[in-house]
Chains A and B, each alone.
Chain A
Amino acid sequence: MPADEGLLDRIVNWLPTTLGFKRVASWILVPYWAHKTPVKPLPGGPHASFQHGDNVQCMMNLIMPLKVKSPIGRAEAALAIAQNKDAIYAGLNNVGTVHFARFVIVGDNICMFSVYDGDFTNYIRDFIATIGQVFNAVVSLVEGGDDVIPCEENVEAFIQWVHERDLYQVPDTPTDFLRDQEALNGDRAVSPVNDDLTLLPRKLVLQLRANPNVSLGSGYRAYPGYSAAQVRERLGLGW
């Protein structure tokens, strides 16, 4: 901090750290910024890459708001999963590219988190072909889900619907989200303004307004990426 900082500078620097200012900014300033500088939501899923290691153990973080926002709605969701447990296991086996899959209820959302290999659309399509009825049972409880079920007859729309609910994965180097913004806007030239980290908070705030839920990074691995089948093969489990 510069030593010659005056009283006014100190107030300006202190003000944003106060809770009251943050609340006022959230209600007034951020909507005003968003109105003046519209920011598009960034698409979900892993960043496209041709590197082999980036195409195994990919993350899907699906957050789906329930239609019935109450304990009854949450119980219905839990029941839908429980009733289809065997089909889910069979599906995981037949699709062959899944490492882990979890269903989680957070608030009034049913969430599906999974780690899979290969292309996202192939992954979802293979799941539809294998256990489409499970997707139908779960998605029928979710806001906007009726438009895309039965998923077997709405394959393209269903995949798109899932993709839109998959969380944006902020790059491992978080400032790289600026590059994603530029790519989304078709701006291929890197603006020097966007490299100025003093402006990052506003851009980050606006992006997180457009993408309220995000994955921070694309997952941290304790070992290099292997496909589910490679793991099974090397452990002698068959694949």
Chain B
Amino acid sequence: MNDIADVQGNILRGYRKPYVRYLILEVADPGAARRWLAASVSGHGDGVPQITPYNWGKDKPDTCFNIGLTYEGLRALGTPSASLAMFPNEFIEGMTARALKLGDVGPSAPDNWPKPFDEPKRIHLIATIYADKKQQLDQVQERALAGGALKKLDTREGCSFEDDAVHFGYRDNIMQPRFEGIHDRERHDDGQPRAPLGTVLLGHKTNLEDLMWRVPQPAALGHNGTFNAFRVLKQDVVGFEDYLDQAASDLLKHKQVDDVLAPGAEAKIGEVLKLKGLTRHGALREVVAANLCGRWRDGTPLALSADTPDPKLVKEKFDYTGESRCPYGAHIRRCNPRGGQIVQRVANNSRRLVRRGVPYGPLYVRTQPRDPGKAEPERGLLGNFIGASLGAQFEAMSCDWLNLGLQDPRITESNDPITGSNDPSASWFDLPLKSGNTIRLRGLPRFVSTRGGAYTFLPSLSAIRFLGSLTT
């Protein structure tokens, strides 16, 4: 069975709609909730919003609507216990129970999460509305909540910025895995092997030879489903920019500063990044930002152009083999080491994830004057990290690669410089130089903290019908 039309639309394609709202819901009436699910795939668009499928026909819908169910949600809907037992442990336990693996410690610990994430067992269903216009979010929400089958616990909402920018100022949305057997509508060749469909859908071949993930039965429930780690990630934008200032000032005084930034290179960097009158200090800020991420803020990968950003380069196609100047500890290299040497040789390309995210909070404009007495508004990312095995992909990446740096002995015992749970007293990051030497940056604070999240199962349309037809 390889019926991709049965898959929810947000898994294999991005909608590119600027407004996104997450409805965090509790099953109020199990029978009504099952009828709600059945109605959501009925094809009758006047009541419950219709689930957007992978194949939406000729015209892209004005709004899109998709759902994910937590383990507690599946239980509340009356899913048979034999089926529930077939879901993987990490999903059954839920995101809060996996906090240590995910680096959700200190300020990120679930005990500090605000409502509704402080009561994870009440979160049953997360519905996502994608829209071109903000008012459409309200319209779809109203339809989704009509009838009282589901109780709204809270919402989270984000809005895309121009040019696919995200907080911290990087261009995002450059890369997604390309899958075997799936027509690649928009993506350029990224130089990576196409991922087997089992990377993202249950019931298909995975990237690890001969390994298959368990498909919860009946097949109508599990097949073509997948899992999502939904994360509310607060970003300390001011702290990030302040750190760049500090690191640039330190580098300016460093005897090898010309190895970090060739004299005169600031003009080219300023031109490409559209930063008028960029000083040497300002250019060093950009060099540090580029190294922490592995991409310049315009998206140019350091693996292709380590000295200056280059708008003419294809931003997807590169690798970390040979003498790549992308730091071993850079964020994008940690998340996906591509074909580069890693300790766990069998794991190359096996922990890939589909990422769907939208920023929340207002755009930060560094040049705008700040009132030191006034608290900054919360900014961050509403992120979805989708894969057929949360344990083998999302958790494995988070635990061993982002937090422990186990994939390369040169970064072991350091955290991801951008998303890691860093403590300034112990954190470090090695910035590579042309000469092969490195300069160790220290004192990185925590830039990203978790403010909520949940593991959800993204059921196929058949699974939604199955759940909608349950009688208990």
Q: Which residues of A approach B to under 8 Å, CB–CB? A: 48-50, 52-53, 55-56, 94-97, 117-119, 121-122, 125-126, 128-130, 132, 152-157, 160, 226-230, 232-234, 239
Contact = CB atoms under 8 A, between A and B. Distances in A.
Counting from the closest, the 3 A-B pairs by CB-CB distance are: A96-B343, A229-B409, A233-B409
A232 B410 CA distance: 11
B211 A156 contact: no
Of B88, B210, B344, chain A has the most CB atoms within 10 Å of the CB of: B344
Nearest to A238: B341
B46 interface: no
B406 interface: yes
28 contacts: A48-B100, A49-B100, A50-B100, A53-B413, A94-B346, A95-B345, A96-B342, A97-B343, A118-B400, A119-B399, A121-B391, A122-B344, A122-B347, A122-B399, A125-B392, A129-B208, A129-B209, A132-B210, A152-B210, A155-B214, A156-B88, A156-B213, A156-B214, A157-B214, A226-B412, A227-B412, A229-B406, A234-B409
Instruction: Classify chain B's interface size.
Output: 35 or more
B211 A155 contact: yes
A49 B399 CA distance: 11
Contacts of B396: 119, 121-122, 125
A175 to B, nearest CB: 22
B98 to A, nearest CB: 9
Contacts of A132: 210-211
A128 B391 CA distance: 14
Interface string B334-363: 000000001111110010000000000000
B344 A50 contact: no
B212 A160 contact: no
Nearest to B97: A48
B89 interface: yes
Interface string B71-103: 000000000000000001100000000001101
A88 B89 CA distance: 28
A121 B103 CA distance: 16
Of A56, A156, A230, chain B has the most CB atoms within 10 Å of the CB of: A156
Contacts of B419: none
Contacts of A96: 342-345
A52 B343 contact: no
Interface in B393-432: 395-396, 399-400, 403-404, 406, 408-410, 412-413, 421
Contacts of A118: 399-400, 404, 406
B105 interface: yes
Of B210, B213, B406, B413, chain A has the most CB atoms within 10 Å of the CB of: B406
B212 A153 contact: yes
B409 A230 contact: yes
B346 A95 contact: yes
A56 B412 CA distance: 10
Given A156-B88, A227-B406, A230-B409, A95 B344 contact: yes
A52 B211 contact: no
A131 to B, nearest CB: 10
Given A117-B404, A125-B208, A156-B391, 10 more contacts: A55-B406, A56-B404, A119-B101, A119-B400, A122-B400, A126-B346, A152-B212, A155-B392, A227-B409, A230-B409
B344 A52 contact: no
A230 B211 contact: no
A94 B342 CA distance: 10
Contacts of B212: 152-153, 155
Interface string B101-143: 1010100000000000000000000000000000000000000
B89 A160 contact: yes
A76 B412 CA distance: 40
Contacts of A126: 344, 346-347
Contacts of A234: 409
Nearest to A127: B346
Contacts of B210: 129, 132, 152
Contacts of A128: 211
Contacts of A125: 208, 211, 391-392, 396
Contacts of B213: 155-156
Of A155, A160, A239, chain B has the most CB atoms within 10 Å of the CB of: A155
